[in-house]
Amino acid sequence: MNKKAASILMIIFEILIVVLVISMTISIAQAMGSSTTITKINLANDMKMMIDTFVGVSGDAVIEIPYNTSKFVLLFKESSILIFEKNDLEVKRIERKMILPENYKLIGFLEEKEKVCLEKKSKVIVLKECKETYSAPGISTSTVSTSIQAKFEQGFIEKENKVANELGIDPNYLLAVIYFETGGTFSPSQKNAAGSGATGLIQFMPNTAIALGTTTEELAKMSQVEQMDYVKKYFQTVGAGRLSSLSDVYMAVLYPKAIGESEDYVLFKSPTTAYKQNKGLDTDKDGQITKQEASSKVLASYNKIIEEKIS
């Protein structure tokens, strides 16, 4: 074979390689661009965030993952999260690696289950099928005073009931927290008076809003009903299944580390920034804010709602 023929063959070979690479790139891009793949990516990212939250708080907890996972296989492999469909090629499998503290373990394998939960027991985080969701008596607009009703947008109380029951929280407790956090306005654009940047029904902090896939500016533009979706998403990240008391429901918003702690647990001390931003909760003015002191303000809101419902 002469040099010219060899050169032509090399050019043809190089062209075929380029075509093959382009074809593979297009196939991968199409796979990654599908709506199912986007769902898998979002699911993996949210599960990673939930596990990070579990690691950062004390006590046991259960969180329902806010997705219909009936199409997917979910697997914890060593310190990785794997999400895929039964017949997926390896390129379509989504993996998120976790950096876990010493002695923490991820355990679990579930195949095409609609409702999936993460459960933390000591330093073991287990992937499991959810049990039946908690149900508490709902709040009816007919039993809420007209002065409070006037602050509700259409459909808000129905949405609040639905979200609370899906989270396993007493709807009365959640309503009391929203009442307190918004200063009784129930405004989705309510700003924190101390200048922390917190906004909305449960006073989302700017960084928290970003972690939930939005911003405080966007939250402020939402209706009460729309913002309740982010209230739900937030509570799911802190382990709503363990919030059986009014004080713990409020701690989920104010200071999740205190969930499950005793009522004399100290949240903030002077002269920290956190203390200054919450100074109004220091009822005995001793330079520290306990869980009981903070919760007493929300209890007053709860009692006010109950009293107005009775009156």
Q: Could you tell me which residues are beta bridge partners of residue 120? A: 61, 125
Write down the domain spans for the chain.
Answer: 35-129, 141-310
pTM greater than the 0.75 cutoff: no
**Is the C-alpha dihedral spanning 44, 48, 203, 259 positive or negative?**
positive
For the chain, 311 residues long, give each residue's pLDDT as a single digit of tens.
555 555 555 555 554 554 455 455 445 444 444 568 888 888 888 888 878 877 776 667 777 787 788 889 999 988 899 999 988 888 889 999 999 998 899 999 999 888 888 888 888 899 988 765 444 445 554 456 677 878 999 999 999 999 998 888 888 889 999 999 999 999 999 998 777 889 999 999 999 999 999 999 999 999 999 999 999 999 998 876 678 788 899 999 999 999 888 888 999 999 998 898 888 889 889 999 999 889 888 888 877 776 555 44
- 82, 95 contact by CB (below 8 A): yes
| 141-310 is classed CATH 1.10.530 | yes
191 phi and psi angles, rounded to 5 deg: -100, 150
The pLDDT of residue 24 is 55
Q: Which two tokens stand for residue 216?
A: 């405080």
In angstroms and rounded to an integer, the radius of gyration of the C-alpha atoms of the chain is 25
